[in-house]
Structure 1
Amino acid sequence: MLKLNVKNETSRLRAVILGTAESNGPTPKLEEAYDPKSALHLREGTYPLEKDMVPEMEAVAAVFKKYDVEVYRPQIIENLNQIFTRDIGFVIDDKFFKSNILPDREEEIEAIEHVIRQVPSTHVFRLPEEAHIEGGDVMLADDHIFIGTYRGDDYPDYIIARTNMLAVGMIQDLFPRKKVMSFDLRKSNTDPYNNALHLDCCFQPVGNGKAILHKNGFLQEKEYEWLVNFYGKENIFEITSQEMFNMNSNIFSISPEVVISERNFTRLNTWLRDQDITVEEVPYAEIAKQEGLLRCSTLPLIRD
């Protein structure tokens, strides 16, 4: 049996589900794009190919092996994009949550059932269908749970609004001892520079008490300021809109001292090293074209 344990974003990683780019399927039609960044690359003819994405994911698998992390992979379903495991599930403490995702992605959850079956059934949860939530919006900070959402009345009009306030309330009910905080994110179906698909597209804790932030990802300045005060201004790396577009906040921590980051994130990687954090650089620029990076394609199961 798997004894799940995830309480924050940076403690030493022991087990993880890493997505797969194998049998990724044909390049989607423009009208099938889920987000504005994928749509941009489809229009420009630069949408990533399976042959370029498979080596990127295997580079991450190699880093996990180096640090003795147990890696689970989805069962490969022919012609299905199974890269972004964070969308389909997440762990809080010792509980596994299956996400309520876009209906045509349900197969992706079935492909990790061989892992979920190793968790006691009493610790596997799924919120009611009307409570939308995806793992990219759920950020753990020990006794705090930060959740990205969109509070606008036009929520149904945004395919990129993935987590609603009903789900936020239900998570609070399930974890009464934790402080659950929601953050209203900026959404755009058409402009990838002004769209925070998930909370991890504009915020990510790293190291011991540090964080990456992008102010424009938040609709409410006071909610952004709350995070600045929580971490302390001197501990925050503020990314530009171009860096947010490139997914600089979507790196992944193996421990407080080690992160996996994209090799082109020069400014960020320099700052991380200045904080005495080891940066394991990998090529991930092709996968990033689908508005997802290292955090999106990993689902941590056990951290110390």
Structure 2
Amino acid sequence: MTAPIHIYSEIGHLKTVMLKRPGRELENLTPDYLERLLFDDIPFLPAVQNEHDQFADTLKKQGVEVLYLEKLAAEALGDTSVREQFVSELLSESKADINGAYHRLKEYLLSFEAESMVEHVMSGVRKNEIELGLRSHLHELMEDHYPFYLDPMPNLYFTRDPAAAIGSGLTINKMKEPARRRESLFMRYIIEHHPRFKEHDIPVWLDRDFKFNIEGGDELVLNDETVAIGVSERSTAQAIERLVRNLFKRQDRIRRVLAVEIPKTRAFMHLDTVFTMVDRDQFTIHPAIQGPEGDMRIFILERGKTEEDVQITEEHNLLEVLKKTLGLSDVNLIFCGGGDEIASAREQWNDGSNTLAIAPGVVVTYDRNYISNACLREQGIKVIEIPSGELSRGRGGPRCMSMPLYRDDVK
């Protein structure tokens, strides 16, 4: 590979992907803080790790190179000065000085080597980890009942959202919820300091310091000219427009972006929770995102006559938009849960539409969504199921749990 990032489709043969193995951060979930940390339940760590390992092994058996976020981050932070800079930035974003713990936390984290430090940052730092005898201020001794100096990051195993590859570059995202906002800092340090990436001058189409939110689960690369982005609970129209303008200015291959509005609810969190591409002309979709006549609000953003001009056209029929923009004579929409009102709602909640394509017509799905999986198979899609008893408790499926870095082009 001459470049470390190359994503010009959703379905090209997957060559390299980044995962995050669930770790001790999940054991720092408690019922009192689930809502704050964006979880509905507490996964059983040994079981969720076993299921995630089976997911990784499934990809490896298909010839996919699996990289791990935690390992890349530790390797990127091997230099002491880089590690110190990272910790300073992380603690500032974590507002760690509100309780007067900034300097103590910094000293504590920098006492570890890179790998252990990354593990502590990801899993969170409990107040009882720092010895009581070291506390020298009244406000530290009279602490509140909140157990963390540094919150855990239990959502990290959903690597799709903090950063996403488009073409030869990345969006490094400002995430909507404070509980996840620090996550994208890891990817910035990886592309700037990891030996695999730092010499390639990887373009960042939209950086995490932009004031409006966007998340990777809303970003789908449909082909080498067309990207679809969900206007969702987590991604704003302002961020999408800025991304479009940057793409049009800095590269020539991607020519249009489809901004697809979906209901702004937790159940429909991102576009990829209700719509994913499974083959050249086939998509899985949750029927509830369409109106009675299949109508939706879809905005096609294309290059204008000048570099600064973006032409915007509003459309309402997803099927027709896909046929027109992808140059297809027909498109097959495969309904999650077979379109049944109850089955589709149940299986969409368990990410029945959140498929990870590893080749044209070959997808990885959760085993629990047996009706959706049967519908995919009936349409000629090869479905590789992975166990999902614990993984699904985090409200994300195989696409959510993976950040593709390199795919072969679709011939």
Partner of 1:69: 64
1:87 is aligned, of 143, 161, 186, to 161
The match for 1:235 is: 332
Is residue 2:317 matched to residue 1:226?
A: yes
Tell me the equivalent position of 1:203: 275
Kept in 1, the 8 Å contact 2:276–2:353? The answer is yes
Which residue number corresponds to residue 22 of structure 1?
23
State which drifts further: 202-211 or 216-225.
216-225
How far has the Cα of 1:183 moved from its partner?
A: 1.9
Q: How far has the Cα of 1:107 moved from its partner? A: 4.3
Match of 2:184 in 1: 109
Alignment of structure 1 residues 1-20 onto 2, 5 Å: 2-20=3-21
CA distance in 2, matches of 1:109, 1:133: 11
CA 1:112–1:175 in 2, change beyond 3 Å: closer, same or farther? closer
- Could you tell me which residue of structure 2 aligns to residue 156 of structure 1? none
Distance in 2 (CA, whole Å) between partners of 1:269 and 1:244 is: 12
- Letter in structure 1 aligned against 2:317: W
> Given residue 47 of structure 2, which amino acid in structure 1 is its aligned partner?
D
Residue in structure 1 matching 2:256, options 179, 182, 198: 179
CA positional deviation for 1:242: 1.7
Contact kept? 2:362, 2:381, Cα under 8 Å = yes
Structure 1 runs (4+) deviating above 4 angstroms are 110-115, 231-234
Deviations 1:87-119 (A, max 9, x none): 111000000221112344344334456752333
TM-score, with structure 2 as normaliser: 0.63
Superposition TM-score, scaled by structure 1 size:
0.83
The unaligned stretches of length 5 or more in structure 1 are 42-46, 151-160
SS at match of 1:148: strand
Residues 152-191 of structure 1 aligned to structure 2 (within 5 Å):
161-176=233-248, 177-188=254-265
Partner AA of 1:22 in structure 2: G
- TM-fit CA distance, 1:127: 5.1
Secondary structure of the 1:166 match is helix
Letter in 2 for 1:137: D
Question: For 1:28-63, what per-residue CA distance to the aligned partner results, in whole angstroms no more than 9, with x for missing partners?
Answer: 445542698x33x4xxxxx32212210111111101
Helix, strand or coil at the partner of 2:376:
helix
Matched position secondary structure for 1:261: strand
- CA offset at residue 2 of structure 1? 4.2
* More moved, 266-275 vs 84-93: 266-275
Deviation at 1:279?
Answer: 1.5
Match of 1:98 in 2: 172
Amino-acid identity (%) = 23
Indicate the SS of the match to 1:77: helix
Correspondence for 1:129:
210
Which position in structure 1 is the counterpart of 2:353? 249
Deviations 1:169-191 (A, max 9, x none): 01211233521121222123xxx
The alignment status of 1:145 with 2:227, answered yes or no, reads yes
Could you give the per-residue CA deviations for residues 147-188 of structure 1, whole angstroms, max 9, x where no partner exists? Answer: 1114xxxxxxxxxx2111111101211233521121222123
Q: 1:204 to 1:34 in 2, by over 3 A?
A: farther
Letter in 1 for 2:332: N
Instruction: Give the aligned partner of residue 51 of structure 1.
Output: 46
Contact 1:127 1:167 in 2 (8 A): no
SS at match of 2:10: coil
SS of the equivalent of 2:6 reads coil
Letter in 2 for 1:300: P
Matched residues in 1 for 2:264 and 2:180: separation? 21
| Bigger-Rg structure (1/2) | 2
Task: Give distance in 2, aligned partners of 1:124 and 1:213.
Answer: 30
Tell me the SS of whatever aligns to 1:260.
strand
Once the two structures are superposed, the pairs formed by residues 286-297 of structure 1 within 5 Å of their partners are 286-297=390-401
User: What is the rounded CA distance, in whole Å, between the counterparts of 1:30 and 1:256 in structure 2?
Assistant: 43
Give RMSD over aligned pairs.
Answer: 2.6
Number of residue-to-residue matches in the alignment: 282
Change in Cα spacing, 1:114 to 1:183, as seen in structure 2 (3 Å) is: same
Are the counterparts in 1 of residues 263 and 289 from structure 2 also a CA contact under 8 Å? yes
Q: Secondary structure at the match of 1:302?
A: strand
Rate the CA distance shift 1:299–1:34 in 2: closer, same or farther, 3 A.
Answer: farther
Distance between the aligned counterparts of 1:205 and 1:87, measured in 2? 17
Counterpart position of 2:368: 264
User: What is the one-letter code of the residue matched to 1:288?
Assistant: S
Q: Is the 8 A contact 1:11 1:254 kept in 2?
A: yes
CA, structure 1 residues 34+165, in 2 after alignment: closer, same or farther (shift >3 Å)?
A: farther
What is the CA deviation profile of residues 129-151 of structure 1, one whole-angstrom value per residue up to 9, with x for unaligned ones?
Answer: 3121110011111122111114x
Q: Say if 2:170 and 2:202, in contact at 8 Å, map to a contact too.
A: no
Q: Which of structures 1 and 2 has the larger relative contact order (alpha carbons within 8 angstroms, sep 6+)?
A: 1
User: What is the identity, as a one-letter code, of the residue corresponding to 2:369?
Assistant: F
Q: Which residue of 1 aligns with 2:143?
A: none
Letter in 2 for 1:264: R
Residue pair 2:281, 2:331 contacting (<8 A) in 1 also: no
Distance 1:216 1:233, change over 3 A: farther
